Structure 1
Amino acid sequence: MKPITRSRWRIAAGVCYYRWKRKAQWIFGQKKYARSRNAELLPHIHFRHQTILLRQLQDVEMWMQHNKVTNLRLAVRCLNGLTIRPGETFSYWRTIGKPTRKKGYLDGMLLSHGRVTAGVGGGLCQLSNLLYWMTLHTPLTVTERHRHSYDVFPDSRRTQPFGSGATCFYNYLDLQIANLTSHLYQLHAYVTDTHLVGEWRADMPPTRKYEMVEKEHAVQPFLWGGYERSNQLYRNVYSLEGEWLHEEWVTENRAMMMYEPLLPEARSRANGQNLRG
C-alpha cells in the first residue's frame, strides 16, 4: 500500500494517544515486568553479540553518531544486570524510561518515514536491534517486536539477514521479551570504545544452539512506484552436539526500499554501510 501522508498535528495526536495507551497497559495490565538488577553476573553465557558504534553512512553527519554513543551509554546503564525471573516480561521502554535532555540524552540519528533526521535519544534502535537478535538465539520468547517499515541503506557488509532487527520509538513501539522457562536470565550490556556489546546469561548452561535462516526473499515493484522488500525468518534448533532438531518460524518482514534495488556493487559499498536504527 502507498504510504499515507499525514499532517504534523495528526501525527502528534496519534503519538500522544498511543503513549497514553501504553502507559495504561503498564499500570493496569496483567503482565509482571522484570525490575530487579544484580551487579553479580550469572555464570552461564547463552549468547553474546556486538555491533560497531561508528559507521560512515551516506547523508548522515558523524556528529549524530557520536551523540548516539552517548545515548547508548545512558540506556545501557538502565539495562545492565537486569534479571528476568520465570514468568516475568522485559519491556525495553519501561526499563529505560523516556529519553530526555534532562537525563543527558543528545540529538542522535532517527529514521522517520524512511528519512534520516535528528532527535533526542536518537540511535537507541541499535540497542533494541542487538537485544532482539540475541534473544532469537536463546529460549526466551519475544512477545512484542516492531519491524522496520523502511529499508534505508543498501546491504553493504551486512552480516545478519534482512529484517533481523527491532525498531523502537518511545514508548509504544516497544520490544518485550518473556521468560517462559523455569530458569533465571540476566542481561549484561556495555559500551566499549568501538562496540555495543550484549550477553544473555542464565543460571544454567545452554542446552540448544540456534541458527537464523532467511527464506522467500523478494523485491517487488509497487504499482504506484518504488519497491517493497520482503522475507520470512526461521530459526533452526540444534542440540549442543550439532544434531538438527527442528525448524521454527520467527517472523515476516516487509519494508519500503529507499534506494534503488539493483545498485552496482562498487556503488553500494560507497553509498553506505548497513545500520538499522
Structure 2
Amino acid sequence: MKRRLFCQLSPMAYRISVKKNRMQRRMQDMVSQKVFAKEKGQPLPVTVYRHSSLIRRTLGNVDPRLQENKAINLAIAAPKVSHILIHPEETFSFWRLVGDTTAKRGYREGLILKGGQSDSGIGGGMCQFTNLIHWMVLHSDLKIVEHHHHDGYDLFPDFGRQVPFGTGTSIFYNYLDYRFYNGTDKTYQLLIAVDDTYLRGELRCDQPMAFCYHIKTEKEKFLREDGIVYRVGEVYRSKMDKKTGKTVERQLLRKNHACVMYDTAGLKIEET
C-alpha cells in the first residue's frame, strides 16, 4: 500500500500543509535577491503579441454557474496585473500582484482543476489568466523561471481550442506561482482587460524586438496503451530573425503524454 502524504491524512493536515508552504514561499522571497515587478505605467509603444481567451467555454459537463463566477473573478484580478512594467533584471510574479483570491476580497466559487479532475473553489479561473500571460510570454525574449503544468491529464474535449495542448499553467496561491524574468535591456509591459466575452491581453515593449516566435504541435495523436487512451505530441517553439525570416533556434517545449479523461467516442485512436 502506497504511503499517504501528511497533507492527505485529513482536512486539518491539508490546511497545515498549505500554511507551511505559503510561509516557506514568503521566506524564500524575503531572503532572495530577486527584484519583483511592481511599477505600473502608461502603455508602451510596441505591441509584441496580443491574445484573447474566451471566458465561457464549453467544458464537458461543467456547471455554467462556475463559468459566470470565473468571469467575475477575472474581472477582479485583471486590474491588479494590467499596466505592470517589467524592467530589465526584474521578475514578474502573478501571485505577488494578485494576492490571495478569497471571498472577503469579492472572489466567487469558480472552476479549478484538482487531482486530475475538475472541481470548484473560491477564486477559480486564475489558471486561465496565467495561461494567457504564458502564451504571450512564449512569443518574446522573456525567460520563464516558474511554470507548473496540469501534468498527465487531458480533461476536456477541444471545444474552440486556440493554443497547443500542453502550454497551459497550474497555479495555487502562493507557492505554485507563474513567474518570468526580464534578462534583456528592454522594458516590457502587460495590458489585461475583461469584457463580456473575452479575457484580452497584450504584451508590449519600449522598443522593437529583433526576433519573433512561432509555437506549434507536432506528432499529435491519440494512443491506446493497455486499454487507456492518451493524447501524445511534441510542442516546439521556433525563434526567427525578423529581417531575414530565417529560423535561428528551435526548442522542444514539452512532450505530452496525457490520460484522456472524457468520452473518447469519435476520436481517431491508434493502437500500440
The TM-score normalised by the length of structure 2 is 0.88
- Of 149, 172, 182, the residue aligned with 1:179 is 182
**Structure 1 unaligned spans of 5+:** 266-277
Which deviates the most, 14-23 or 4-13?
A: 4-13
Give secondary structure in 2 for the equivalent of 1:193. coil
Q: Distance in 2 between matches of 1:43 and 1:147?
A: 32
- Of 59, 62, 71, the residue aligned with 1:60 is 62
Q: 2:15 maps to what in 1?
A: 12
Q: Distance in 1 between matches of 2:29 and 2:229?
A: 37
Verify: 1:205 aligned to 2:216, yes or no: no
Give secondary structure in 1 for the equivalent of 2:92. strand
Opposite residue 239 of structure 2, the aligned amino acid is: V
Is this contact kept in 1: 2:222–2:232, CA < 8 A?
yes
C-alpha spacing 1:20/1:256, structure 2 compared with 1 (3 Å): farther
C-alpha spacing 1:58/1:14, structure 2 compared with 1 (3 Å): same
Q: Distance in 1 between matches of 2:178 and 2:254?
A: 14
Give secondary structure in 1 for the equivalent of 2:175. coil
Q: 1:170 maps to what in 2?
A: 173
Give secondary structure in 2 for the equivalent of 1:172. coil
Equivalent residues in 2 for 1:234-245 (5 A)?
234-241=236-243, 242-245=245-248
Give secondary structure in 2 for the equivalent of 1:188. strand
Length, aligned pairs only: 262
Q: 2:161 maps to what in 1?
A: 158
Q: 2:235 maps to what in 1?
A: 233
C-alpha spacing 1:217/1:15, structure 2 compared with 1 (3 Å): farther
Equivalent residues in 2 for 1:56-205 (5 A)?
56-149=58-151, 150-205=153-208
Give the share of equivalent positions with the same residue, in percent: 36
Shift of 1:253: 4.2
Is this contact kept in 1: 2:192–2:202, CA < 8 A?
yes
C-alpha spacing 1:257/1:24, structure 2 compared with 1 (3 Å): farther
Is this contact kept in 1: 2:58–2:159, CA < 8 A?
no
Which deviates the most, 211-220 or 180-189?
A: 211-220
- Of 38, 45, 63, the residue aligned with 1:43 is 45
- Of 29, 32, 47, the residue aligned with 1:29 is 32
Which deviates the most, 28-37 or 242-251?
A: 242-251
The TM-score normalised by the length of structure 1 is 0.86
C-alpha spacing 1:74/1:58, structure 2 compared with 1 (3 Å): same
Give secondary structure in 2 for the equivalent of 1:13. helix
**Structure 2 unaligned spans of 5+:** 268-272
Q: Distance in 2 between matches of 1:123 and 1:90?
A: 19
Residues 141-189 of structure 1: per-residue CA shift (max 9 Å, x gap): 1111001123210223322211011111111111001001001001111
Is this contact kept in 1: 2:57–2:159, CA < 8 A?
no
Is this contact kept in 2: 1:147–1:253, CA < 8 A?
no
Q: Distance in 2 between matches of 1:68 and 1:160?
A: 20
